[in-house]
Chain A
Amino acid sequence: MSSTSQKHKDFVAEPMGEKSVMALAGIGEVLGKRLEEKGFDKAYVVLGQFLVLRKDEELFREWLKDTCGANIKQQGDCYSCLREWCDSFL
């Protein structure tokens, strides 16, 4: 089990509201810009995509890689961040 980052802990601690997509764990400036260009400018839009993919890890990872070029670690961080957020708030 890998330890979670501060970003992850901050994100899963509260409802995401209008947080930017860059508030997601694994999504920094570069990936965040790419996602914004594709229309995913808020964290809740990525959440929407995560839910439409039925919260499936494999599908979400693949989608994230195709959409913004996230590597394995970034995919994993973003996935576990959203999954944990959903466990708490959805």
Chain B
Amino acid sequence: MTMLSSKSNEEIKRMLDDYGIKHGPVVDSTRALYEKKLREAMSKHRRTQVQSDRTYYREEEDVTYVQHHRPQLYDDVSNRTWSDYRGMDYTDEPAIYRTQAPYQNMSQARNLPPEPHIQKTPEKTRLVPVWLQILVFLIVSGLLYLVYINMESAEPEKRLT
């Protein structure tokens, strides 16, 4: 953590120039805004740095194949709910294994960068909080249970006919 608030106005100005952020004079009333912009630029910079390092690792033929796949995988993983997992996604799963296997063969060091990335993006792109999903699931299953009970009580009547 760089503690932007402890830097002088002059240093903030220099950092803004370094990041190419257009700005006016750094004074008390503009300080908070520029610190916020710097924080955003710094975290974005770190993210793009990590990604570019990752692409740097892989210069074999697998690169393009994997990179085309990865965005799809991450999108699929983050948007899916549990009900979807039961059904249709087996076609995608072998692809997951396929892309990861070559990595494991290459080197141990390279294994580490992909994994945190896999864990990070689904969390960041989650639109619906988990507790809400669980709640909806319980409500739906409760309703289904009620329907089931009503059906059961109706059965004995049907048997008579």
Residues of A within 8 A of B (CB): 48-49, 52-54, 56, 58-59, 62-63, 66
Contact = CB atoms under 8 A, between A and B. Distances in A.
Nearest to A40: B29
A59 B32 CA distance: 12
B45 interface: no
B29 A49 contact: yes
Contacts, number: 26
A40 B33 CA distance: 16
Contacts of B22: 56, 58-59
B47 interface: no
Interface residues of B: mostly helix, strand, loop or mixed?
Answer: helix
- Interface footprint category on B: 10 to 19
Nearest to B26: A52
B28 to A, nearest CB: 10
Interface residues of A: mostly helix, strand, loop or mixed?
Answer: helix
Task: Find the residue from B27, B33, B37 having the highest chain A CB count within 10 A.
Answer: B33
A54 B27 CA distance: 13
Given A49-B29, A52-B29, A59 B36 contact: no
A59 B25 contact: no
A62 B21 CA distance: 13
A54 to B, nearest CB: 4
